[in-house]
Amino acid sequence: MLATLTALALSLSTALAVELSTVDPARTGAGIMQFKGPHRYARVEETGTLVITIGGTGSRPDEFARVHGWAAQLGHDVWALDYFNGVICTTCRTHTDPTCFDRYRRELMVGDTLSEIVTLDEANAILPRLRALAGYLASRHSYWRRYWTGSDLRWDRVMLVGHSQGAGHVAFLAKLVSVKRVIMTGGPHDVGPNGAGTWLSAPGATPLANYRSLLHRDDFFGAASQLAAVRLLMGQDYEPTMVDRSVPADAGPVLMATMAHRDPHNSLQREEFVGIWRWLLGER
């Protein structure tokens, strides 16, 4: 069994590259801007599942290249979203009002004018940008209509993957719509000295069993506060399963990486974690 898993991990690793097409967000709808780079997408045509990635502060859509490759190798279609990510969510930790986290998340997600630390119009918020991309692709190729109802995404066919700031965004989005899976890495960060974002423990559309978390023990943002956020979000005081290059058979939904790295927070998509990502993106 170990030899089989090792061979599979190596095959996924060496066959990492996947060619993603690009589209300027401005082409997908009126008033929509490009922030860090074009949206990216790949058609694989095997599982009928769409993996959507949302990066962290200052990231570009192509920075999920390894994850895109591993998802494609598992048969999943892939989208990488460009969005406004210029304001780090940990800014809210210095606020005396913990609803700062809630207002920050909601403005970036749907465009409601609520936050004092970000300013974003509705067209450029995450959820409208995703819907615009879905409609754009579906209008140009019948293949993408499998993820588009004509007015919204087929969320039951979607896996959301988010890192750092993006971890909180995919978790927040999964409160609004019911998705197949939510994968959070290096976040959320919505717990501070003055309290936690109330959105974390609010009821949501996605079943809690559909959430997965990958943190790093040595994360400079603080693994303890991230774990506290994950526990609030998932409604249980999960003890994380410590992992290095693989995931044990009895692992729970919260993983804690222990592999030493000079940048633990941003190490979670490195080649060494291919076995862990296969578990996260698989059908378990």
pLDDT, tens only, 39-63: 999 999 899 999 999 999 999 999 9
pLDDT, tens only, 167-215: 999 999 999 999 999 999 999 999 999 899 999 999 999 999 999 999 9
Task: Determine contact, residues 71/40, Cβ cutoff 8 Å.
Answer: no
Angle at 56 between CA 231 and CA 20, to 5 degrees: 120
pLDDT, tens only, 122-165: 999 999 999 999 999 999 999 999 999 999 999 999 999 999 99
**How much is the pLDDT for 8?**
40
Q: Which CATH superfamily is domain 2-90+154-281 in?
A: Alpha/Beta hydrolase fold, catalytic domain (3.40.50.1820)
Rg (C-alpha) for the chain, rounded Å, is 18
Q: Are strands 50-54 and 77-80 parallel, antiparallel or unpaired?
A: parallel
